[in-house]
Amino acid sequence: MKNSILQEIRYKYSPKLPAILREDIHMIGARHGAPSRSESDHEALQSQFSHTYGLPGIIFEKSETKRAFDPIHVAVILSGGQAPGGHNVICGLFDALKHANKASKLFGFKGGPSGILNDDFLILTDEIVDSYRNTGGFDMIGSGRTKLETNEQFARCAQVCEEHDITALVIIGGDDSNTNAAVLAEYFASHNHAIQVVGCPKTIDGDLKNESIEISFGFDTAVKTYSELIGNIERDANSARKYWHFIKLMGRSASHITLECALQTQPTITLISEEIEKEGTTLQEIVDYIAAIVAKRSESNENFGVVLVPEGLIEFIPEMKLLIGELNTLLAKDGNRYGTIQDWDDRQTFIIERLSKVSCDAFQSLPVEIRKQLLMDRDPHGNVQVSRIETERLLAHMVSHTLEQMKHEGSYRGKFSTNIHFFGYEGRCGFPSNFDADYCYSLGYNAFLLIVHGCNGYISSITGLTKPAEQWKAGGVPITMMMNMEMRHGHMKPVIKKALVELEGKPFKYFASHRDTWAYTTSFTYPGAIQYFGPAEVCDQPTMTLKLEHQE
C-alpha cells in the first residue's frame, strides 16, 4: 500500500527530547527524592502495597560514572482506547533499549492485556518500529480492554514473562490500566518474581493528571483535532447564519476536552459537567439557560450559534443521575424479566412502575428516542452506555420545545434550526501533534531508564511541559502516590483518582470570565488544522489548559 506524502515525511521526524535524555544513555543517573505519600487512605494503601508504597520519586540527571547494560528482555502492552502518540511511546522505549545494548529485545504483546495472558506477541524490530514512527493509532500491536486484576491472571503474567526471560513490563494506559499496573507490580514483588512494571499515562479524556503527570498523552492531539472541526462549523455557522449546532465531545467522567475546545474556539455556549453537578442544575434549567441565549441573540438577528456538550453530561444532572442509578439497579436485578418483554409500551410500563416518583417524572419528560437509549444494552458492568445517549439531540429537542412555548407567549420571535454532531473517534487516532510526538517519545525513552534503574510500580513522568522540550524534566513517581480507596462493585478498592475539571482552577476561571461575552457577542476563533512544520509558536504549542495551569 502506498503511503501519503505526509506519512512518509512523518516517519522521518525526529522527536525532540529533554536535554537529559539526549545524553549518552550510559551516563544518565537517578536522583531519589523523599519517600512518597498518597493524598488520602495512607494506611489502607500501605497495607495493600507493602512492597511498593512510599517509594521515592525519581529525577534523572547526568552521571559522572559510565554504566554498562547487560542485554535484557522488555515487553510492552497497549491498554484501553486509542490515543495519538502510542506508537511513539513504543518507539522511544525501543530506541532507548537498543541504545543501551543492541542485543536487548522488546516484546510487543498483541491485542492489549489479553496478549500476555494468551502468550501472543511479536518481537519488535527496526523494520517494524520504523514503519510506525510518529503515526496515530495502536495498530502496531493492537490494544484491548481486558483487565489484569485477579491473582490467577497475575500468576499467568509471571509465567509467560519468565518463559521468555522478560524482566520488565511497560503498560501504556489510562487510570484503570495504571491502577492494574500498580497491583501487578505489587504481586510480582510480593511473590519474588524478578519482573518490574512501569506505566505510561494515556487517555485523550485528560483525567489522568496531577503534579507529576501534567497531561496524559493524546489529549493534545485530540483537542486540536476537535477544535479544528468546531472552528470549521463555527465558520459555517457565521456564514450561513441560520443554524444552531449542538456538538457532543468525548469525556464521560471529566469535561477537560470540552473546556479546552471552548478555550480554543470560543463557542456561544459551553456546558461543563462538574459545574452543573456542583450547582445542582436541573435538565430544565440547562434548557432554559440555552433558550434564553438563543432568544437574546435573535433580537440582533443572530439566529445561529454553537453549543458544546460533554459526553458524560447527563450523569451529572441530579435527576438524571438518580434515574440512571435506579435503572442500573433495576435492570441488574430484573434484567432477564425485562428482556422477555417485546412491546415498547409494555417495557415502559414495566420500568415506570418500578421507579421512584422523581425518576419516573424525569423518565417521562424525555423524548421516546432518549428513553430507548437509556434502556438499550448495558456495558460489561451492567451500566447505561452513556456515550450512546444523544444528549446533544435531547437538548436541541427540549430547547426547541421551550422556544415554541416562548413564541406562543410572545417573548421570542426568532428562528431556531439545529444540526447535531458527536466528535469522538475522529480524535483518537490522528497523526500526533508535534507536542504529542515529542512527549510520547520522551515517555517511552524515560520508561526504559526507570527499568534499568530498578523501578517497580512507577509511572513515567515528563514535566515542565509548557517550556521548550529541551527544558523538560524526566523521572518517575510511584503509582501508589496517585491512588485512593473507592467503592467499586460493592468493595473498597485502590484506584488512581480521576482528575476532574477544577472549578477553582485557572482554566475554568478564565473560561467563566469570558463565556457571557462569547454567548451574546459572536466571538468564534478558528484554530485550523494541526501544523507540523514551521515556527515553534505555531507547531509546538501545548494546550491552553496546560499553559493556564502553569501560568506564572
Summarize pLDDT for 161-181 with one digit per residue, the tens: 999 999 999 999 999 999 999
Domain assignment present for residue 270? The answer is yes
3-state per-residue secondary structure call for 326-342 = HHHHHHHHHHHHHHCCC
**Beta carbons within 10 angstroms of residue 520's beta carbon:** 15
DSSP 411: S
**Same structural domain, 154 and 248:** no
pLDDT digits (tens, 9 = 90+) for 86-136: 999 999 999 999 999 999 999 999 999 999 999 999 999 999 999 999 999
Contacts of 28 (CB under 8 A, 6+ apart): 20, 21, 60, 61, 62, 63, 449
pLDDT category at 386 given cuts 50, 70, 90 is: confident
Domain assignment present for residue 499? The answer is no
Total length of the chain: 552
**Same structural domain, 190 and 283:** no
Bridge-based pairing state of the strands 458-463 and 269-270: unpaired
Q: What is the pTM of this model?
A: 0.95
* pLDDT for the residue 66: 96
Domain assignment present for residue 317? The answer is no
Residue finishing a domain among 488, 516, 534: 488
**Beta-carbon-side half-sphere exposure of residue 369 (alpha carbons within 13 Å):** 10
Q: Which CATH number covers residue 172?
A: 3.40.50.450
**Beta-carbon-side half-sphere exposure of residue 364 (alpha carbons within 13 Å):** 13
More confident residue, 59 or 328: 59
Contacts of 266 (CB under 8 A, 6+ apart): 514, 518, 523, 524, 525
pLDDT for 552 beyond 80: no
Range of the domain at 373: 328-388
* pLDDT for the residue 252: 85
Q: What is the mean pLDDT of the chain?
A: 95
**Same structural domain, 334 and 294:** no
Q: Are 295 and 414 in contact (CB under 8 A)?
A: yes
Residue finishing a domain among 444, 460, 488: 488
Domain assignment present for residue 497? The answer is no
What is the C-alpha to C-alpha distance for residues 82 and 258, in angstroms, rounded to an integer?
Answer: 19
pLDDT for 381 beyond 70: no
**Same structural domain, 152 and 249:** no
**Same structural domain, 256 and 291:** yes
**Helices (H), ranges, 241-282:** 256-265, 273-279
All three cell numbers of 253, joined, read 467522567
pLDDT digits (tens, 9 = 90+) for 266-294: 999 999 999 999 999 999 999 999 999 99
The Cα angle at residue 373 between residues 368 and 378, in degrees rounded to 5: 150
Domain assignment present for residue 25? The answer is yes
Contacts of 223 (CB under 8 A, 6+ apart): 204, 206, 257, 260, 261, 264, 427, 543
pLDDT for 339 beyond 80: yes
Q: Are 198 and 173 in contact (CB under 8 A)?
A: no
pLDDT digits (tens, 9 = 90+) for 213-266: 999 999 999 999 999 999 999 999 999 999 999 999 999 889 999 999 999 999
All three cell numbers of 375, joined, read 434502556
State whether residue 548 is helix, strand or coil.
helix
State whether residue 110 is helix, strand or coil.
coil
Q: Are 393 and 420 in contact (CB under 8 A)?
A: yes
**Same structural domain, 271 and 359:** no
Handedness of CA 163, 198, 73, 92 (dihedral sign): positive
Q: Which CATH number covers residue 510?
A: 3.40.50.460
Residue finishing a domain among 462, 488, 514: 488
**Same structural domain, 55 and 171:** yes
Domains: count for the chain: 3
* pLDDT for the residue 2: 79
Residue 229 main-chain phi, psi, to 5 deg: -65, -40
* pLDDT for the residue 3: 86
Average pLDDT over residues 69-79: 98
pLDDT digits (tens, 9 = 90+) for 473-499: 999 999 999 999 998 777 899 999 999
Residue closest to 170 by CA, chosen among 497, 456, 439, 472: 456
Q: Are 106 and 75 in contact (CB under 8 A)?
A: yes
The CA–CA distances, whole Å, from 252 to 220, 267, 276, 416, 532 equal 17, 20, 14, 28, 30
3-state per-residue secondary structure call for 158-171 = HHHHHHCCEEEEEE
**Same structural domain, 163 and 233:** no
Catalytically active residues, by annotation:
205
Average pLDDT over residues 430-442: 97
* pLDDT for the residue 380: 61
Q: Are 520 and 296 in contact (CB under 8 A)?
A: yes
What is the C-alpha to C-alpha distance for residues 270 and 259, in angstroms, rounded to an integer?
Answer: 8
What is the C-alpha to C-alpha distance for residues 240 and 522, in angstroms, rounded to an integer?
Answer: 14
Domain assignment present for residue 319? The answer is no
**Same structural domain, 408 and 276:** yes
Q: Which CATH number covers residue 345?
A: 1.10.10.480
Domain assignment present for residue 194? The answer is yes
**Same structural domain, 414 and 510:** yes
pLDDT for 1 beyond 90: no
**Same structural domain, 103 and 187:** yes
**Same structural domain, 359 and 399:** no
Domain assignment present for residue 267? The answer is yes
Residue closest to 271 by CA, chosen among 388, 425, 362, 396: 396
Q: Are 79 and 145 in contact (CB under 8 A)?
A: yes
